[in-house]
Structure 1
Amino acid sequence: MKNHRKCVVTFLWVCISSFCFFSCKSEKEGPNKNHDASKPIVLKSFYPNEGGARDKILLDGENFGTDPGKVKVYFNNAKATVISTSGDRIYAIVPRLPGDMPQISVVIGADSVVYKDKFEYHIQAQVSTVTGNGQKNFKPGTLSEAEVYGKYLELDAEGNIFMSWRDGGNPATFGVARINERQNIVTPLIESILTGRILFANGLTVDRVSGMLTAAHESTKEVIFTFDPREAWYPRQRNVKYSTADLNSIVAADLYKNFVTYCPYDGHLYTRYRDGKIAKINPETLEAKIVHQGPYGSQYGQAINPAKPWLLYITLHSNATPTGFRQGISVLDLRDPNGTGGFKRLNAPGGSGFRDGPLADALFNFPKDIKFDNKGNMFVADYDNHCIRMVSADNIVTTVAGQPGTPGYKDGGPVESLFNQPWGVAVNEQGDIYIADWSNARIRKLVIE
């Protein structure tokens, strides 16, 4: 029976392949008609007028030409895949996460035209559990056996998930672990009981070219730890070299540096102390200097936008001063950190709350970790709203998973999925989001399109 079914499937595939071959061949043999640069591109309509990622769309108009390689289609700033063009109709595939109600534009050579109507984009999301069983502890093992109580996450280009944890278990422990779905493993890179800690880690960062993982020791001014994949991620303590003046300027009572972030724009690491000082570190020489004095306050998250890698984003605690920076998302332009733009808040003031929409009007409730995909979409672990929020590249905030204000644990789509105080997020090269669902003591995976 299996062989019979296999033969039927093979026969159907051959028929479909042959049909596609001859259809494509006959289409190629049709007359070629170039876009006429002396005449305008005319846009008439598109169908369907709503859909999601990977859906097909037909764009009608005039003067497109018949060479799909010369036609570009954008949904806002997201580039669609153009399959074919007949001169008056373009066949394309809707791109992933173009933003809220995107406008469709057609670009041919120096000509660019925008359809008057907007496309209604439907976000599709699915949440699953990677590892963890709800026990607030760390125990290595296979994904089904392991126990995790992670706070912060980071990913490399090879599919490794790195997790930092602290205070979980009895006795309380801290550490950094590696999680790999393909290898079905959770394994510690550094681990110790709390009273004998070597490294007290929070945010992690990876240089995705070299694979180097770096963690900042939060309670010493100079110490960072590196984990080199060429050395099987063996932990090495490294001491940052400040000038005497810079080192003494860091307030001893507020020396906590919870984060370190690799910046591909200039190849340096950036860290921030609770007294508001931001330092730039050369990862090769370890020479460092203070480059900015910002607002006081403990920190929840820090990230670089790969689409604009000179922008450093930071979320601050409810103890931030001035108060206008509390529980918000702020940004610093590293090209001129002490310039007129300075350290500025991006979302609405007002502290704890929930509001989607334009980023300037949006509210969060203890936003913790933040990370970006390669297109510049930011994902926020909105801790006390119990959900995952997205800030699109065009600064529109939407809730992509979890139910605002409703804690719980449930996998599934955006309507039914539940989180309980999500803390950490990380995004891989394909745009999949991993979440340290802290109070559920699990690592979750969000595939969003």
Structure 2
Amino acid sequence: MNRYLLLAKFLGALFCLTSCDSKSELTEKKHDPSKPVMLTSFYPNEGGARDKILLDGENFGTDPSKINVYFNRAKASVIAASGNRIYAIVPRLPGDNPSISVVVNGDSVVYNDPFIYHIQAQVSTVTGNGQKNFKPGVLSEAEVYGKYLELDAEGNIFMSWRDGGTPATFGVARINERQNIVTPLIESVATGRILYANGLTVDRATGMLTVAHESVKEVIFTFDPREAWYPRQRNVKYSTADYNSIVAADLYKNFVTFCPYDGYLYTRYRDGKIAKIHPETLEATIVHQGPYGSQYGQAINPAKPWLLYITLHSNATPTEFKQGISVLDLRDPNGTGGFKRLNAPGGRGFKDGPIADALFNYPKDIKFDNSGNMFVADYGNHCIRMVSADNIVTTVAGQPGTPGYKDGGPVESQFNQPWGVAVNEQGDIYIADWSNARIRKLVIE
């Protein structure tokens, strides 16, 4: 059956759903709580986000507000119902081959067959031309060599960089697609650097941008949008014992992350110490001693904002934490769960599937969308990976093991050592494509 006949069939079924039932028939098809909800079939059996789907069965009722439909744990939009049919919209990124469940008045039932979900993605270039320098200006003329990214709720992309110029420069910049501009917020040369910036964090409720100075253990910088992001140096206040416990040789703190669960900032030093910082008083406390190692990613899961995720590099000890994704429960950081690795041990590699079996190759920056899907800049594999909310790892863009530069769909797109990622409120992913010296955008439907 060709696509036009399929579309005609769907539209015909939808017309009957919304128009064919008389008022009396709709009354008769109200949900009967004394009878079970029954499922028979759904159509189509495969598709992507925002596709329309018809779910057939019995005893659904006719009030869409009282019907919930889930693809795995991702909630679909229910548009209409006629007692024995539901018209819904497929949600974004539900995970591999999701099961469809229908919940009416507490009665939850699941279709026997899974839905075959197809990721529909498109990669484009936002700014940068391959020159490994920093030069502000309009998007088409700017040069970027960004490492880490973050976004606020207003669509501003914040980028930290260390460029390849002579002399090399370091700094933080703001990129705005709508305003067509790349502009520095703070900048210095290697010989007299003010801020050696890596990971960035934004409190999306206030817009406050915070950056950790990598090589001065008590210094952070804040950029307040109410002050046009004017940089302010702020010194974290540790007790004498906590301050002295941070070994000078391993004082490097690559990241600071805002946690909406308790309102604190969290940072980690190379010696494995994790500290919480009050964002206003700047009083800080060491709350956990974890494994040693350089760090290349840190993020909070907004769906479970008490979980702090961290990627460690090849110098991590014990060796079980090398090149992996680990997590710490901030509700009880020294509890029995502790600091634990999520993906398979064994160092670098490439493997999709359940996270317990998955392998990465120098995983760098990590960020989450609002549904709890994690996106990973898989630097050594030259691709963008996703860990779904139900802990399934898939490759969403790029060609694993094949570096290059190419925009387009998920199969043909190419990256070269992607380093930073950030996700906006709509779920669009921005990538600091480091060796291509560009900022790229991945839109997943």
TM category, shorter:
over 0.9
Q: Does 1:326 align with 2:322?
A: yes
RMSD, matched Cα: 1.4
Residue in 2 aligned with 1:177? 173
**Which digits, 9 at most, give the CA deviation of each residue in 1:156-213, with x for residues without a partner?**
0000000000143121000000000000000000001111101100000000000000
Q: Does 1:278 align with 2:279?
A: no
- Letter of the 1:205 partner, please give it: T
Residue in 2 aligned with 1:6? none
Q: Which of 191, 196, 214 is residue 210 of structure 2 equivalent to?
A: 214
The secondary structure found in structure 1 opposite 2:113 is strand
CA apart distance, 1:106: 0.3
Distance 1:301 1:126 in 2: 24
- Letter of the 2:115 partner, please give it: F
Q: Does 1:290 align with 2:259?
A: no
The secondary structure found in structure 1 opposite 2:384 is strand
Residue in 1 aligned with 2:312? 316
- Letter of the 2:149 partner, please give it: L
Distance 1:445 1:94 in 2: 23
Distance 2:21 2:214 in 1: 63
Residue in 2 aligned with 1:257? 253
Q: Does 1:81 align with 2:81?
A: no
Structure-2 change in CA distance of 1:411 and 1:379 (3 Å): same
Structure-2 change in CA distance of 1:101 and 1:243 (3 Å): same
CA apart distance, 1:27: 5.5
Distance 2:71 2:165 in 1: 48
Distance 1:198 1:27 in 2: 70
Mapped contact 1:315–1:329 kept (Cα < 8 A): yes
Mapped contact 2:151–2:424 kept (Cα < 8 A): yes
Residue in 2 aligned with 1:99? 95
Distance 1:256 1:28 in 2: 70
Q: Which of 333, 339, 353 is residue 337 of structure 1 equivalent to?
A: 333
Alignment of 1:108-147 (within 5 A): 108-147=104-143
Residue in 2 aligned with 1:387? 383
Residue in 1 aligned with 2:418? 422
- Letter of the 1:232 partner, please give it: A
- Range with bigger deviation, 23-32 or 186-195: 23-32
The secondary structure found in structure 1 opposite 2:349 is coil
Residue in 2 aligned with 1:62? 58
Q: Does 1:371 align with 2:355?
A: no
The secondary structure found in structure 2 opposite 1:347 is coil
- Letter of the 1:215 partner, please give it: V
CA apart distance, 1:47: 1.1
Could you list the runs of 4 or more consecutive aligned residues of structure 1 that deviate by over 6 angstroms after TM superposition? 20-23
Residue in 1 aligned with 2:219? 223
Q: Which of 185, 194, 200 is residue 189 of structure 1 equivalent to?
A: 185
Distance 2:225 2:40 in 1: 54
Q: Which of 348, 355, 361 is residue 351 of structure 2 equivalent to?
A: 355
Q: Percent identity?
A: 87
Q: Which of 130, 151, 157 is residue 155 of structure 1 equivalent to?
A: 151
- Range with bigger deviation, 46-55 or 361-370: 46-55
Distance 1:25 1:180 in 2: 45
Mapped contact 1:167–1:194 kept (Cα < 8 A): no
Mapped contact 1:434–1:443 kept (Cα < 8 A): yes
TM-score normalised over the length of structure 1:
0.94
Q: Which of 239, 243, 258 is residue 247 of structure 1 equivalent to?
A: 243
CA apart distance, 1:299: 0.3
**Which digits, 9 at most, give the CA deviation of each residue in 1:284-330, with x for residues without a partner?**
11000000000000001000000000000000010000000000000
Mapped contact 1:127–1:444 kept (Cα < 8 A): yes
Gaps in structure 1 of 5+ consecutive residues: 1-19
Distance 2:137 2:22 in 1: 55
- Letter of the 1:84 partner, please give it: A
CA apart distance, 1:109: 1.5
The secondary structure found in structure 2 opposite 1:361 is coil
Distance 1:337 1:168 in 2: 39
CA apart distance, 1:21: 12
Q: Does 1:444 align with 2:406?
A: no
CA apart distance, 1:34: 2.1
Distance 1:42 1:168 in 2: 63
Mapped contact 2:203–2:209 kept (Cα < 8 A): yes
- Letter of the 1:146 partner, please give it: A
Residue in 2 aligned with 1:433? 429
Mapped contact 1:432–1:448 kept (Cα < 8 A): yes
- Letter of the 2:428 partner, please give it: D
TM-score normalised over the length of structure 2:
0.95
